[in-house]
Amino acid sequence: MNERTKYILDESRLPKAWYNINADMPIPPEPVLHPQTLEPVTPEFLSVLFPMNLIMQEISRERFIEIPEPVRQVYKLWRPTPMFRARRLEKALDTPAHLYYKYEGVSPVGSHKPNTAVAQAFYNKEAGTRALTTETGAGQWGSALAMACNFFGLDLEVYMVKVSYQQKPYRRIVMEGYGAQVFASPTAQTDYGRSVLATDPNSPGSLGIAISEAVEVAAKSGGQKKYSLGSVLNHVLLHQTVIGEEMLQQMEMAGEYPDMVIACTGGGSNFGGFAFPFLRENLQRGKNTRIIAVEPAATPSLTKGKYTFDYGDTAKMAPVVKMHTLGHDFMPPAIHAGGLRYHGMSPQVSALVAHGYVEARAVNQLATFEAALLFARSEGIIPAPEPTHAIRVAIDEALKCKETGEEKVIIFNVCGHGHFDMASYDAYLKGQLEDFDYPAAAVEAAMAHLPQVG
């Protein structure tokens, strides 16, 4: 019997290509629509925000896209990441299930986000972009992109939600440490920011406002600056598949194959990156693995939202896509998994859920922190609040195996460490956290504001 705890791939086995789910989507793609005309967008429209090489990746149907060597060279600073057999957690649960987790927290910024940040910075540099703009909430995405821009010599402007800028300074300092400029959004530097401040000078900001500011700056830069997004889009999910491609090799090292693949999902990039290579095995090689996307009950786009056309952002400046949505004017409750608070969802993940290729599940935050502490006390690692959603479901499934006696192989992704999120644990330990089920009536009401797509 294999007694290993940690499965590490040699650097030579770092994947040479990303996997593009578009090559194998079992459902015909839906068009991406212009936010004003609601007609299908052209690459030229998108090129105001993104360089053409990334737009080509966005719409590519090629199954495997080669990872450029300069990107692989940066990946090697922390990749391949380890996979662990969760032996101590299995023991704590007294389950016959075999639990394995991938750990992305070993990256320099502590999460999976650099997998696409590095690729986007590289392609922008190739395309002649001088600077990138982006938004960030708690700062996980912004810090990844700051590191990536630094490596490829791009300037970076980060519009950080003001309340996070003030209350969560650590990741802001990380961004500044890598040389990025960080602004508390809303700012007085953009038309949209000024309009918000005119109405409410004390606005705490929101991700929607920050997106609109970052988009505006790029759109008005005359091509000098491009905008970068950390989730939702196909090219972002594509870059994240390096996680699942490594995991496939590591499961082979372990001599097992998963019955269940579990990851948390906000915009879908962590989930897609981990799960899509296993989905390919389902679609192409007749494997029958259950693939489970886990979201917060407080932001339940997949489990309570509608699968319909909606704007990607609050200000209706981003394209309209068919996806699971809570409505673009959704106001996320103040739960602690800041990375999972988006109103919509990757169109690919949405379509796969809508057609039954992926299961969706929602869990509430008290249960996720309970699972997180059990995980931390078993495996040592204190996870970020986002992956605790996947950990919760993995534990639930392992406990079902205890009842049935089944030796199922369950794998899940721990997409980041929680060292920047200890205030959330403090609130949980002090009994200050509450559960929140997003009301179905609010979703119904939001549907009245959807774009009227033929």
When asked if residue 200 is in the footprint of its own copies (CB under 8 A), the reply is no
Pairing of strands 83-85, 98-103: antiparallel
When asked if residue 104 is in the footprint of its own copies (CB under 8 A), the reply is no
Pairing of strands 320-325, 306-311: antiparallel
Task: Assess contact for 132 and 178: CB atoms under 8 A.
Answer: no
DSSP 329-391: T------S-GGG--SS--HHHHHHHHTTSSEEEEE-HHHHHHHHHHHHHHHS--B-TTTHHHH
When asked if residue 252 is in the footprint of its own copies (CB under 8 A), the reply is no
When asked if residue 179 is in the footprint of its own copies (CB under 8 A), the reply is yes
Residue from 18, 19, 50, 84 binding its own copies (CB under 8 A):
84
**Residues 378 to 407: which contact its own copies by CB under 8 A?**
379-382
Residue from 151, 183, 311, 330 binding its own copies (CB under 8 A):
151
When asked if residue 173 is in the footprint of its own copies (CB under 8 A), the reply is yes
> Helices 140-152 & 114-126, crossing angle to 10 degrees?
40
100 vs 94: CA distance, rounded Å: 15
When asked if residue 10 is in the footprint of its own copies (CB under 8 A), the reply is yes
Beta carbon of residue 11, minimum distance to its own copies (angstroms, whole number): 5
Task: Assess contact for 265 and 348: CB atoms under 8 A.
Answer: no
Give the tokens for residue 289: 């693995």
Beta carbon of residue 149, minimum distance to its own copies (angstroms, whole number): 11
3-state secondary structure of 134: strand
Residue from 126, 176, 359, 406 binding its own copies (CB under 8 A):
176
Q: What are phi and psi of 6, to 5 degrees?
A: -120, 135
Beta carbon of residue 442, minimum distance to its own copies (angstroms, whole number): 33
Element (H, E) at 100: strand 98-103
User: Taking contact as CB under 8 A, which single stretch among the options 43-51, 163-171, 229-237, 322-330 is the one that binds its own copies?
Assistant: 163-171
When asked if residue 163 is in the footprint of its own copies (CB under 8 A), the reply is no
Amino acid letter, 394: A
333 vs 435: CA distance, rounded Å: 10
Of 60, 64, 77, nearest to 15 (Cα)?
Answer: 64
Residue from 426, 434, 437, 444 binding its own copies (CB under 8 A):
426
When asked if residue 177 is in the footprint of its own copies (CB under 8 A), the reply is yes
Q: Where are the beta strands (DSSP E) in 239-314?
A: 260-264, 290-296, 306-311
Nearer to its own copies, 122 or 271 (CB): 122
When asked if residue 6 is in the footprint of its own copies (CB under 8 A), the reply is yes
Beta carbon of residue 378, minimum distance to its own copies (angstroms, whole number): 9
Beta carbon of residue 384, minimum distance to its own copies (angstroms, whole number): 11
When asked if residue 59 is in the footprint of its own copies (CB under 8 A), the reply is no
134 vs 127: CA distance, rounded Å: 18
When asked if residue 8 is in the footprint of its own copies (CB under 8 A), the reply is yes
Residue from 59, 399, 429, 445 binding its own copies (CB under 8 A):
429
**C-alpha triplet 224, 39, 212: angle, nearest 5°:** 40
Beta carbon of residue 170, minimum distance to its own copies (angstroms, whole number): 4
61 vs 192: CA distance, rounded Å: 36
114 vs 104: CA distance, rounded Å: 10
Nearer to its own copies, 283 or 374 (CB): 374
When asked if residue 377 is in the footprint of its own copies (CB under 8 A), the reply is yes
Beta carbon of residue 5, minimum distance to its own copies (angstroms, whole number): 4
Task: Assess contact for 105 and 30: CB atoms under 8 A.
Answer: no
When asked if residue 442 is in the footprint of its own copies (CB under 8 A), the reply is no
When asked if residue 367 is in the footprint of its own copies (CB under 8 A), the reply is no
Residue from 271, 274, 311, 420 binding its own copies (CB under 8 A):
420
Sites of contact with its own copies (CB under 8 A): 4-6, 8, 10-11, 73-74, 76-78, 84, 88, 106-110, 147, 150-151, 169-171, 173-174, 176-179, 373, 376-377, 379-382, 417, 419-420, 422-423, 425-426, 429
